[in-house]
Structure 1
Amino acid sequence: MVRNRWLILANVSVGTFMATLDGSIANVALPTISEQMDTPVHVVQWVLTAYLLTICATLPIMGKISDIFGRSRVYNYGFLLFVFGSALCALSVTLPMLIVSRVLQALGASCLMTNSQAIVAEAFPANERGRAMGITGTTVSLGSLSGPALGGVLVGQLGWPSIFWINVPIGIIGFIAGLFLLPKGERKPRTEPFDYTGSGLFMAGMVLFLFILSNGQDLGWLSAATLAGGFGSIALLVMFYRVEKRTKHPMLDFSLYRNRTFAIGNVTAMLSFVSLFCMNVMMPFYMQNLLGFTPEQTGYTMMIYPLTMAVIAPLSGWLSDRIGPNLLTTAGLAMNALAFALLNTLTADESAWLIGLHLVLFGVGGGLFQSPNNASVMSAVPRQQLGTAGGLNALVRNVGMVMGIAISVSLYTTVLGRYGAVPESAEADAAMLAALHTVFWTAAGICLAALAVSARRLRTKGTLEEQQRA
């Protein structure tokens, strides 16, 4: 048993929070950056896209590198790279410099994300792992969902560079603490070659797939560019799968997915994040454009979800250590499906407290699901593959976010366009509400699909430790 495991968890939580926070904190700064750099918003959008694409393309690769060279070493170097990239972002005077700096920052974030769960899983025994994963799950949600509110305050008070400068002192402290706290271990001899071919195919296929998914609405879903990019990305990913099945030392070991617990946990996690990001993207539209909330009101109301999850997730993790994750994960998804159904009862005239009550349901459902699911996934793999498993777990989360954003925005704009209502009219409000309801019903269906997959876990009884022995 690792004696300073709770301090290790605190250090890992800081890194996880920073990495996930920067995926959303820049959203509110885009108009300001666009104005100051005299660049159209659709071009400035690459400040977000470059960060997200880089993380998704490199997570499994960083996981494999960590399994070879050591998780603590790669994690701590990730802190340094993240700090360096953040400082360059804050110092950027041109958009190309800012985008390149965001790529460097994302590489550091990838090192942090892919190793956080693996380090925690390695430091904690099975009977405490659920509670520890509950805390890391909370930091992921707090980071992902508190970015717009925190970013709005910083940009308004100190200017857009402040959203990047804030990472520098925290990251330096995290790096120094990691030198003393994180398990050292001996450097593993490099007994296997790195899979450059597989890594290259994966990066090319994943970046092209997510780019088309994110920009298909602007390009046109049936345009030649979208169809060519879509088929091209599928071809690259199929080639990647074939290479990985034949190579002796693959970058991504698909045998992990023969593990029923690991496979179910990953599928349900991705579907859960797809549905939740439909809510996360659309609720600000609903509150600001339909209810007339200010950005500050919207930010503070949206904070109710991650704050509720911050309370529920550790309790859920603690409970999963005693009764196992199966019932909790399924109950959490059922709660989220119910919450989506209730969103469709909202009208064009609601109060902030009623919206907050709906978001509380999402916080409870997310808290019940995330912690036990993460603990279940990380406990299902051999110790030597924890880095790869952590990278895959973070990958499905980020891919789910991108898909949720793309699906919700595409559905919303498509349904809204069919009405052709005059802006700021009763017809426009009805059209917006119909578009939102279409997104929310779709998200509820995705959540029910995740529930159906998760329900297969109910056939397995016992605590997490007992399931491991089985």
Structure 2
Amino acid sequence: MPAAAPEEISRESWLALIVVTAAAFLVVLDVSVVNVALPSIARDLKATSAQLPWVISGYNIALASLLLLAGRTADRRGRRATFTAGLYLFLLGSLLCGIANSPVTLIVARVVQATGGAFLMPASLAMVLPQFPLSRRGVAIGIWGAAGALGAAFGPSVGAVLISVWSWRGIFLVNVPLGLIVAVLARHLVAETRDQSAEGPLDLIGVPVGVAGVALVMYGIVRSEQHGWTDQSVLGLILAGIAVVPFVVWRSARHPAPLLDLSLFEGRPYSVSTAAFWAYSLAFTAGFFLNSFMFQELWGVSVLKTGFGLTPGPLIAAVTSARLGGMADRMGHRWIVSVGCWVTAAGYLWILLTFTSEQDYVFVYLPSAVLIGVGVGATIAGYQSAAMAEVGVDQFASANATLRTFQQVGYAIGISVVSTLAAGFSYDGIYDGFVWVIACFVVSGIVMLIGYPSGSAAARQASAAR
């Protein structure tokens, strides 16, 4: 029996996807660029060693804390409206960052940026997914995910070039004209969508408690990078954040408009994908962090050369993401994502077995970059597509935001763990960090293989309808 022809997607839908992908690219690019700019920021603004980490930490805490609220707001009040408001707030934050005259004003501006990014990102994907049928959803998410990979690929090199020819302020100010173009295009090319059945305000008790809980956990994790995991303040903050979880779940089960949509976890694809993606997130950013350590601290490579040297892996991921997303639409996510995790682990295993204190970019890094690039291309958007495969249209933004909250917490824990393991940037410390990364990728793939249903989402839907 011949395979059914793929469902046609309108030109307007593709254009809308390009617009939201451009916005996602700007946000991810900005995040990856800032790391390169920190030394220049410290010199220009005379930031202390205590202040400088908050340029990144303040952003991460605000972003993770507000994602759940942003997702629920987008589904209930309108995805395009939430996206536009988030984009303008992100651009305002970028402008304030670019003109900041002290470390404190820069940190505050970064929090404004993060607040905009938190509302922008879940809404960006959710407002175009309704225009793509279930059988083509993986392609759309793959293209959107490729923007993140491209942002990560070019962020360090773009940042290094802007700092060299302009200043660190350029990495923020360049967002403003580009973002305004995206905002105008979104208004004309993207239709407004929302949950038409939503009524009443969000839970006025559960929302602030939940946001505070995530913020406490993130703050505790951030503090652990300097004070260690056994520090009493670190443990107190994390335990205080975790302590509110039962209350938030209890409120969410009873309130008609809760912060956390518990019905998402009733579906096996979403719950398994979220658990596996959290394990994946423990390794994802930590792996790139260790590669940067290896280049700069162990091999003595300059920031500019490190930026360009790390580009091949994310670039390969960007190229393969959409194609592998299309394969997942046809074949299912279970094996593609699981194998992708193990291919990524194999890339880091190659580094583990071959790297020394002597620089050898071609032999050590390039083969691993190919494996990691292909593996990430199969997984970073693949996990989001797998999670969203059977989510209802009215829950798109909430589902994406919940998944990204787990992702951000995983990123923070992973960075903290490898920072502790690699303290002093010694060979042994970096080696132990790579062991952590490999183990997390392997576990993530195993969880996905064991727990995720087989077959494509469209096939499962058709089977259930019979």
TM-score of the superposed pair, with normalisation by structure 1: 0.92
What is the one-letter code of the residue matched to 2:78? G
Determine whether 1:442 maps to 2:410.
Answer: no
In structure 1, the residue matched to 2:370 is 360
Determine whether 1:451 maps to 2:445.
Answer: yes
Distance (Å, rounded) in 1 between the aligned partners of 2:231 and 2:40: 32
Deviations along 1:130-165, whole A, 9 cap, x unmatched? 111111111122223532222121112111110111
Deviations along 1:273-323, whole A, 9 cap, x unmatched? 221222111111111222222222211111111101011111101211221
In structure 1, the residue matched to 2:230 is 222
What is the one-letter code of the residue matched to 1:300? F
Distance (Å, rounded) in 1 between the aligned partners of 2:123 and 2:89: 15
Determine whether 1:411 maps to 2:421.
Answer: yes
What is the one-letter code of the residue matched to 1:464? A
Q: 1:217 to 1:463 in 2, by over 3 A?
A: closer
Work out whether residues 155 and 163 of structure 1, in 8 Å CA contact, stay in contact via their aligned partners in 2.
yes
Deviations along 1:90-132, whole A, 9 cap, x unmatched? 1111222222211111111112211122123212112221111
Structure 2 counterpart of 1:75, from 67, 83, 97: 83
Q: How far off is 1:463 after superposition?
A: 2.4
Distance (Å, rounded) in 2 between the aligned partners of 1:127 and 1:151: 38
Structure 2 counterpart of 1:152, from 149, 154, 160: 160
In structure 2, the residue matched to 1:421 is none
Q: 1:371 to 1:227 in 2, by over 3 A?
A: closer
Distance (Å, rounded) in 2 between the aligned partners of 1:110 and 1:217: 23
In structure 2, the residue matched to 1:211 is 219
Work out whether residues 333 and 447 of structure 1, in 8 Å CA contact, stay in contact via their aligned partners in 2.
yes
Determine whether 1:113 maps to 2:121.
Answer: yes
Q: Secondary structure at the match of 1:211?
A: helix
Root-mean-square deviation (Å): 1.9
In structure 1, the residue matched to 2:274 is 266
Distance (Å, rounded) in 2 between the aligned partners of 1:2 and 1:192: 34
Q: 1:181 to 1:465 in 2, by over 3 A?
A: same
In structure 2, the residue matched to 1:373 is 383
Q: Secondary structure at the match of 1:89?
A: helix
Matches within 5 A, 1:190-205: 191-205=199-213
In structure 1, the residue matched to 2:459 is 466
Q: How far off is 1:11 after superposition?
A: 0.4
Deviates more, 1:111-120 or 1:59-68: 111-120
Work out whether residues 25 and 163 of structure 1, in 8 Å CA contact, stay in contact via their aligned partners in 2.
yes
Unpaired runs of 5+ residues, structure 1, are 417-430
Q: 1:268 to 1:185 in 2, by over 3 A?
A: closer
Q: Secondary structure at the match of 2:422?
A: helix
Distance (Å, rounded) in 1 between the aligned partners of 2:242 and 2:128: 34
Q: How far off is 1:224 after superposition?
A: 2.4
Work out whether residues 74 and 82 of structure 2, in 8 Å CA contact, stay in contact via their aligned partners in 1.
yes
Q: Aligned residues, how many?
A: 453
Q: 1:405 to 1:187 in 2, by over 3 A?
A: closer
Q: How far off is 1:8 after superposition?
A: 0.6
What is the one-letter code of the residue matched to 1:462? G
Distance (Å, rounded) in 2 between the aligned partners of 1:173 and 1:207: 32
What is the one-letter code of the residue matched to 1:465? A
Distance (Å, rounded) in 1 between the aligned partners of 2:219 and 2:168: 25
Q: Percent identity?
A: 27
Structure 2 counterpart of 1:384, from 389, 394, 402: 394
Work out whether residues 379 and 468 of structure 1, in 8 Å CA contact, stay in contact via their aligned partners in 2.
no
Q: Secondary structure at the match of 1:196?
A: coil
Q: 1:141 to 1:403 in 2, by over 3 A?
A: farther
Work out whether residues 301 and 356 of structure 1, in 8 Å CA contact, stay in contact via their aligned partners in 2.
no
Deviates more, 1:228-237 or 1:171-180: 228-237
Distance (Å, rounded) in 1 between the aligned partners of 2:75 and 2:268: 22
Distance (Å, rounded) in 1 between the aligned partners of 2:272 and 2:390: 11
Deviates more, 1:114-123 or 1:256-265: 114-123
What is the one-letter code of the residue matched to 1:397? Q
Determine whether 1:7 maps to 2:15.
Answer: yes
Q: Secondary structure at the match of 1:26?
A: helix
Q: Secondary structure at the match of 1:23?
A: helix
Q: How far off is 1:227 after superposition?
A: 2.5
Deviations along 1:254-282, whole A, 9 cap, x unmatched? 22112110011112222212212221111
Matches within 5 A, 1:228-247: 228-247=236-255
Work out whether residues 8 and 120 of structure 1, in 8 Å CA contact, stay in contact via their aligned partners in 2.
yes
Q: 1:232 to 1:186 in 2, by over 3 A?
A: closer
Deviates more, 1:67-76 or 1:292-301: 292-301
In structure 2, the residue matched to 1:61 is 69
Determine whether 1:41 maps to 2:34.
Answer: no
In structure 2, the residue matched to 1:419 is none
What is the one-letter code of the residue matched to 1:246? R
Distance (Å, rounded) in 2 between the aligned partners of 1:192 and 1:348: 60
In structure 2, the residue matched to 1:347 is 356
Work out whether residues 46 and 103 of structure 2, in 8 Å CA contact, stay in contact via their aligned partners in 1.
no
Distance (Å, rounded) in 2 between the aligned partners of 1:347 and 1:180: 54
Q: Secondary structure at the match of 2:51?
A: helix
Distance (Å, rounded) in 2 between the aligned partners of 1:53 and 1:468: 38
Work out whether residues 121 and 379 of structure 1, in 8 Å CA contact, stay in contact via their aligned partners in 2.
no
Q: How far off is 1:455 after superposition?
A: 0.6
Q: Secondary structure at the match of 1:160?
A: coil
Work out whether residues 58 and 203 of structure 1, in 8 Å CA contact, stay in contact via their aligned partners in 2.
yes
Work out whether residues 38 and 52 of structure 2, in 8 Å CA contact, stay in contact via their aligned partners in 1.
yes
Q: Secondary structure at the match of 2:127?
A: helix
What is the one-letter code of the residue matched to 1:449? V
Work out whether residues 64 and 214 of structure 2, in 8 Å CA contact, stay in contact via their aligned partners in 1.
yes
In structure 2, the residue matched to 1:398 is 408
Q: Secondary structure at the match of 2:212?
A: helix
Deviates more, 1:275-284 or 1:159-168: 275-284
Determine whether 1:133 maps to 2:127.
Answer: no
Work out whether residues 55 and 110 of structure 1, in 8 Å CA contact, stay in contact via their aligned partners in 2.
yes
Distance (Å, rounded) in 2 between the aligned partners of 1:377 and 1:221: 31
Distance (Å, rounded) in 2 between the aligned partners of 1:187 and 1:447: 35
Q: How far off is 1:185 after superposition?
A: 4.8
In structure 2, the residue matched to 1:425 is none
Structure 2 counterpart of 1:332, from 333, 340, 358: 340
Q: 1:200 to 1:186 in 2, by over 3 A?
A: closer
Determine whether 1:173 maps to 2:181.
Answer: yes
Q: How far off is 1:353 after superposition?
A: 1.9
In structure 1, the residue matched to 2:5 is none
